[in-house]
């Protein structure tokens, strides 16, 4: 059945697709649905055999090995979705800035209920338990034993050891019955050998910890500014010149978080009290792997940095939602958190301070498997922000960054064309928190994706090839000049055991896990100042980064010195005038950018109002 072209979108009242299009899309998708099949033939998914690299095989996986599995489903009418996204950011298009709500993206682009239920029924038949269809029908998740997963996906598993860590991995591709092949995209959760890692210096390897001991605790009542050593979250608003730009109190923000965030919320409240910031309403949304009080505080320093940086530089946001999952470093669990933020469509800006190196992580041919979720977010006017990585141009050297590997590459999800990738700088400011300059941070992740195509908004504006260039922008990341954050306790992992050291004070932190939330808080501030009309950040940033005479826009801090390689045979990339693969376009002068947005109709469209679903209504 022929689906209407993007020209049909010009007939929308605001951004609503016609009832006829709804019917056509729905009927077309339903025709593909089928009941849970009897297995006769198998079809490949995007999930290939896991790349175990130099890992040592240590045995077979026990049949009773528990697994949490997320089956990722295909978007429907993908050409229409791609065209719609293009039109959202094309000046003069009737659809420019006309964001959908989550009910609309689900109706037009998600699998039908019948399709999703067919997958759910199949998993149940294979012995999966707690099978759940996501609200927007993009994921079907459940718990299984290795025996059930082996049978369901026509694969096998082995146990491996690498760098002192053991885990299981699928040793052959994940397949599904041919009757489901048009519905299922890929399968996550079939390996535990490789996981996402956060991008903060306090989670770095022990060598770096020894070289950069924690500074003495500081008391916020003793000084109003931090004199350029590290900065309280609210100081970044002055350094990056928020000026008269209103606080971000009209914009909802999200954080994709791992494990228990109870102490994180308490730490945020203490920071707000100490720095005189109006308390921000917080909430925790649990995904299928979630646990409200699971007792695992190992990510506390990460989420404290994220939340205090966002609230500090934004001056406060409308709400802060933690999409928290237990054991969330697994690719399956993270997918459920990302999808929940998309399905809720509440947060306009969402932070992701984690990633995995393309050259050494799990995805291989499944790289980009979150992209369908991000694309729906873009259509809804959401901006997902990702840390570009803390391994420079060679990110395969450490599971927690801050050390160079041997192979050039970039990290995912920062390499997705549907997120904004934020690199790192060394920030300098005077004693009065006036901006004095930035240089490239030596470990700022950046380079060129091996798998993901260059988005149209990068065409002709980035130096390399036809693949995604990383990062897009950059903010402060260095530990010397990083953030002072309040911590109740600090997790410290030694010899595989995590200990919690009481802090009850302020310590410094850094990494691109700082730069990404600084962007998030900045964009939330700009969204609030412009009635939440901005939507996905990169297209407009790239479109207006240069003036018509070729000079850089006055709202950008161009970072022109430094590199992200150790040198010699591994030079990495050098910062330079304009865009580069260390700092992207650089950082923002917030007030100058807000002034530019207000005087540039093409940046947003006046026809998009806050009463539309661009504010996040479902």
Residues with catalytic annotation? Answer: 302, 306, 513
421 neighbors 414 (Cβ within 8 angstroms) = yes
Cis peptide before 444 (omega within 30 of 0): no
The Cα–Cα gap between 204 and 211 comes to 11
265 neighbors 282 (Cβ within 8 angstroms) = yes
34 neighbors 119 (Cβ within 8 angstroms) = no
Cross-strand partners of 56: 161
The Cα–Cα gap between 88 and 15 comes to 10
Residues 6+ apart with CB under 8 A from 339: 134, 136, 138, 139, 287, 373
Q: Does an H or E element contain 176, and which?
A: strand 175-177
The Cα–Cα gap between 298 and 301 comes to 8
Minimal CA–CA distance to 106: which of 27, 22, 35? Answer: 22
Cis peptide before 413 (omega within 30 of 0): yes
485 neighbors 304 (Cβ within 8 angstroms) = yes
438 neighbors 403 (Cβ within 8 angstroms) = no
Q: Does an H or E element contain 140, and which?
A: strand 139-145
CB atoms within 10 A of CB 67: 22
DSSP 497-510: EEEEEEEEEEEEE-
The Cα–Cα gap between 232 and 483 comes to 6
Q: For residue 218, what is the DSSP state?
A: B
For CA atoms 290, 292, 297, 301, the dihedral sign is positive
519 neighbors 255 (Cβ within 8 angstroms) = no
> 417 — phi, psi (to 5°)?
-70, -5
Cross-strand partners of 44: 175
Token pair belonging to 422: 């934020």
The Cα–Cα gap between 498 and 19 comes to 55
């Amino acid at each position: 059945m022929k689906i209407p072209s993007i020209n049909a979108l010009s007939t929308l009242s605001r951004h609503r697709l016609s009832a006829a299009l709804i019917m056509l899309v729905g009927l077309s998708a339903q025709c593909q649905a089928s009941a849970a099949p009897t297995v006769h033939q198998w079809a490949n998914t995007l999930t290939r055999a896991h790349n175990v690299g130099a890992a040592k095989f240590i045995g077979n996986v026990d049949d009773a090995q528990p697994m949490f599995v997320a089956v990722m489903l295909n978007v429907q009418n993908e050409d229409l979705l791609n065209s719609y996204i293009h039109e959202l950011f094309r000046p003069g298009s009737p659809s420019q800035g006309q964001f959908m709500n989550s009910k609309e993206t689900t109706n037009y682009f998600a699998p039908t209920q019948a399709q999703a239920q067919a997958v759910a029924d199949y998993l149940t038949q294979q012995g999966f338990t707690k099978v759940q269809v996501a609200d927007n029908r993009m994921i079907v998740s459940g718990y299984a034993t290795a025996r059930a997963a082996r049978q369901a996906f026509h694969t096998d598993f082995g146990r491996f050891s690498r760098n002192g860590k053991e885990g299981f991995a699928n040793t052959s591709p994940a397949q599904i019955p041919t009757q489901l092949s048009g519905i299922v995209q890929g399968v996550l959760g079939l390996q535990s050998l490789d996981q996402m890692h956060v991008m903060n210096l306090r989670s770095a390897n022990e060598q770096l910890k020894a070289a950069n001991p924690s500074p003495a605790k500081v008391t916020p009542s003793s000084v109003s500014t931090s004199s350029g050593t590290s900065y309280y979250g609210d100081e970044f608003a002055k350094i990056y010149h928020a000026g008269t730009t209103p606080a971000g109190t009209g914009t909802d923000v999200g954080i994709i978080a791992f494990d228990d965030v109870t102490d994180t919320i308490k730490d945020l409240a203490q920071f707000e009290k100490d720095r005189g910031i109006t308390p921000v309403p917080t909430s925790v949304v649990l995904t299928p792997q979630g646990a409200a009080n699971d007792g695992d505080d190992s990510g506390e320093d990460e989420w404290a940095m994220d939340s205090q940086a966002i609230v500090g530089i934004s001056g406060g946001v409308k709400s802060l939602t933690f999409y928290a999952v237990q054991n969330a470093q697994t690719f399956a669990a993270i997918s459920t958190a990302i999808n929940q933020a998309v399905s809720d469509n509440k947060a306009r800006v969402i932070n992701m301070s984690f990633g995995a190196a393309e050259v050494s992580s799990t995805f291989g041919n499944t790289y980009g498997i979150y992209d369908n979720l991000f694309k729906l977010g873009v259509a809804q006017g959401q901006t997902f922000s990702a840390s570009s990585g803390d391994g420079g141009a060679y990110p395969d050297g450490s599971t927690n960054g801050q050390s160079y590997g041997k192979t050039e590459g970039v990290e995912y999800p920062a390499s997705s064309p549907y997120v904004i990738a934020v690199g790192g700088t060394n920030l300098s400011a005077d004693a009065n928190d006036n901006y004095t300059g930035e240089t490239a941070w030596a470990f700022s992740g950046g380079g060129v994706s091996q798998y993901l195509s260059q988005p149209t908004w990068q065409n002709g504006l980035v130096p390399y090839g036809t693949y995604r260039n990383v990062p897009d922008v950059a903010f402060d990341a260095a530990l010397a000049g990083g953030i002072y954050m309040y911590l109740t306790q600090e997790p410290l992992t030694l010899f595989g055991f995590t200990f919690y050291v009481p802090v009850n004070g302020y310590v410094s932190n850094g990494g691109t896990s700082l730069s990404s939330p600084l962007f998030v808080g900045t964009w939330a501030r700009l969204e609030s100042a412009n009635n939440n009309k901005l939507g996905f950040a990169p297209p407009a940033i790239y479109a207006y980064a240069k003036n018509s005479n070729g000079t850089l826009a006055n709202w950008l801090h161009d970072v022109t010195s430094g590199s992200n390689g150790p040198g010699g045979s591994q030079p990495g990339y050098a910062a330079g005038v304009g865009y580069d693969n260390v700092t992207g376009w650089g950082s923002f002068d917030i007030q100058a950018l807000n002034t530019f947005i207000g005087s540039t109709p093409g940046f947003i469209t006046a026809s998009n109002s806050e009463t539309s679903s661009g504010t996040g209504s479902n």
